[in-house]
Amino acid sequence: MEWSIHAADASDIRARLSPEEIRHSESDSKLTPALALVARLIEEYFGQLEFSRCAYGTEFCENLIPKPAAVQAVLWAAAEYGLPLTFLTPYVSDEGIEALKPVFDLLNRSAVDGGMECEVVFNDWGVLSLLRREFPDLIPVQGRLLNKSLRDPRITGVYPETSTSLGPQTALVNLRRSNLDSSSYIGFISSMGVRKIELDSLPQGIDLSQIDERVAVGVYLPFGFTATSRSCLAAGLHYPKRDKFQPGAPCHHECQTHLVEYTYTNSPFENRDQKFYLKGNTYFFAHSEAMLRSLFEQARQGRLRRLIFQRRLPMWE
Amino acid sequence: MKILTPIKAYDELEMLAENGAEEFYCGITPREWLERYTGAFWLNRRSPKGGGLESFAELRQVVDGAHARGIPVFITLNAPHYTTEQMSYVMRLARTLDEEIGVDALIVADINLLIQLSEAKLRAQIHISSLAAALNVEAVRFLLNFGPSRIVLPRSVTIPEIETIVTAVRDEVEIEVFMLNDGCAFEEGFCSTTHHHSVGAFCTSLSGMEAEFEGNRGQSLTFRQTVRLKRNLTHYREYVWYLNGNGCGATAKGLPYGPCGLCAIPDFYRIGVASLKIVGRESGALKKLASLKMVHDIVTRTREGVPKLHVIERSRALRQTPEHCDAGFMCYYKV
């Protein structure tokens, strides 16, 4: 099993992180408890993190797709550490497809000329289609947005305790899986050249044992996503009210100035301390201790190939 | 360009057919699914309680009755995904719907189900749901691999984007767009939450949560920044209120509030959009009727060649709530 670091920029790339460095990540203070928790458990299970791969890019917002110059800087920095690159891409409009093409061209040349393998995580079937047709030397990886498992900590984290009242065990078993247990689906994406997939750990627990062995699994931590939108709360910040929250509206990266922490104080269950974090157009939740332990135990059992560590909410320019 | 209307009971059929429905869509959750998965795992995108037909017998009545009027019936099998255990059941259901009930199309989102159906060669056509998140031409072309006759574009696709897509695939597949009711704050294909009755929609749930702002990387926000952010959040909560039908409200004349695309109909007619979707299988008959009459009024005028500006004026006049039209938050599309 390998570790990958999702870097915000070239200066964020490093070969290793100690639990102490994780605890004191240059991050938003509201995320400190989540980072402290994951640091403690990483220390318990792994000692420290030794990275053999670097990830860069954005999964959630086409306005945050990095320019080729920034990607080049990351490629150079990653090469200095001997880390191959995984480039993350979001769901996109036609405009976003055009923004990705020069980046893919750069990565493709780097892969062909430099001999460094480069993965591209796609969260949009149109991006996969583009990769296969025009950039066949880039290795496609199915992103976590294309895995449609329920991730709703308002309720799915409560299921294991109250499953007799909220749903029978069959429901819970299926909520811990996805279509990745289907040989026909895996056969299909394999025929598309996809041999790796990325997932979120799930509040209700995730059963990695059922995933077809023809694909290698990577899981993000310590943040999972819940919902994302083309109607961004942050991008409307400076607009007249009636022009706000429009899909595809001009964005000035207003999301980079702040985050919003929500507390589920109106829960009908006991989880009234459940937090959600909004950064830009996407809502995230932090992994609980139970989720992290389950994930690390499954990693020890060899059920996943890669863990992708994100020191901050993955919404940076 | 057809008007696609939701239906959840045979009793609604004659009323909707007589008032302009040109296509129907519906859902059904068989008892055995409900017993096995309860409300934890929906068979389609509406709650099994109240969002669909009650029985196969009634569905057969709806299909036969609609066909007698020359109206096709589509049925939703559009859960974001099904596990292997569920897929065998869903395929048996699809065959039943096709061979025994005679539905005209299956509305599908799960890529794995699309794979299975494209191989099964059922008589019923395949419509790809908005949950497949076809946001660009490349994605639409990818989905054509599964042989659909129609693709439903997500709510977030703008009029210029719709025009680009329709122009690119005009001769290969029909394009359907959202027209009325039931907005979504998120990109539906990438929303991993549930509308389970115990917690409700995530977007409205957020409006009731405590929210705190923090500057990036732990930096303090200025007073002015905080004020602006809080004001923006208030605006956003108002936007969500509009998305949910102005709090599930209606005008004094019974016209439903909620996201509205009436003013965009002339553009959709010009572009060549195949179908306009009225949302709300679970809504009452009167709401369905009122929604349909509004859309039919505007579509009729558009087909008759009424100029776009006059159609827009008529749309606003129909609603008689200019303050909500002017708010900017009730529009599915910016015209």
Question: Residue B202: its chain A contacts at CB < 8 A?
Answer: 152, 154, 226-227, 283
Q: Which residues of chain A have pLDDT under 50?
A: none
Question: Residue B236: its chain A contacts at CB < 8 A?
Answer: 233, 236, 244-245
Q: What is the largest CA-CA distance in chain A?
A: 59
Residue B258: what pLDDT?
83
Residue A28: what pLDDT?
66
Task: Kindly report the CATH class assigned to B2-203+236-327.
Answer: alpha beta
Cβ neighbour number for residue B222 with a 10 Å cutoff? 10
Beta-carbon separation of B214 and A258 below 8 A: yes
Which domains, and CATH codes, for chain A?
Answer: 2-223+287-310 (3.20.20)
Question: Residue A148: its chain B contacts at CB < 8 A?
Answer: 80-81, 110, 192
Beta-carbon separation of B111 and A226 below 8 A: no
DSSP secondary structure letters along B26-45: E-B--HHHHHHHGGGS-SSS
Beta-carbon separation of A245 and B236 below 8 A: yes
B193: nearest CB among A152, A182, A243: A152
Residue B42: what pLDDT?
86
B-chain residue closest to A149, CA distance: B192
> Which run of H or E residues covers position B281?
none
Beta-carbon separation of B84 and A152 below 8 A: no
B-chain residue closest to A274, CA distance: B209
Domain segments of chain B: what residues?
2-203+236-327
Confidence of residue B8 (pLDDT cuts 50, 70, 90): very high
Say if residues A314 and A306 touch (Cβ distance below 8 Å): no
Given a cut of 90, whether residue B40 has pLDDT beyond it is no
From residue A6, give the alpha-carbon distance in Å to each of A64, A74, A315, A316, B95: 15, 11, 11, 11, 45
A-chain residue closest to B78, CA distance: A148
Pick from A288-302, B61-75, B213-227, B284-298: least confident:
B213-227
Beta-carbon separation of B187 and A92 below 8 A: no
Q: How far is B42 from chain A (nearest CA, A)?
A: 10
The fraction of chain B above a pLDDT of 70, given in percent, is 100
A167: nearest CB among B40, B141, B228: B40
d(CA A42, CA A54): 18
**Structure tokens that stand for A153 in this block:** 């900590």
Note the pLDDT tens digit of each residue in B164-189: 999 999 999 999 999 999 999 999 99
Residue A24: what pLDDT?
83
Q: Of B36, B62, B31, B63, give the one whose Cα is nearest residue B48.
A: B31
d(CA B180, CA B330): 10
Say how many CB pairs under 8 Å bridge A and B.
Answer: 258
A29: nearest CB among B199, B202, B214: B214
Q: How far is B319 from chain A (nearest CA, A)?
A: 18
Q: How far is B161 from chain A (nearest CA, A)?
A: 8
ipTM given for this complex: 0.95
Note the pLDDT tens digit of each residue in B276-326: 999 999 899 999 999 999 999 999 999 999 999 999 999 999 988 999 999
From residue A247, give the alpha-carbon distance in Å to each of A235, A253, B111, B166: 10, 15, 25, 18
Note the pLDDT tens digit of each residue in B87-121: 999 999 999 999 999 999 999 999 999 999 999 98
Residue B254: what pLDDT?
85
d(CA A303, CA A301): 6
Top residue of A25, A91, A144 to mutate, by most chain B CBs within 10 Å, is A91
d(CA B155, CA B77): 19
d(CA A142, CA B21): 40
Question: Residue B194: its chain A contacts at CB < 8 A?
Answer: 150, 152, 154-156
Beta-carbon separation of A145 and B190 below 8 A: yes
SS3 B199: coil
Beta-carbon separation of B205 and A266 below 8 A: yes
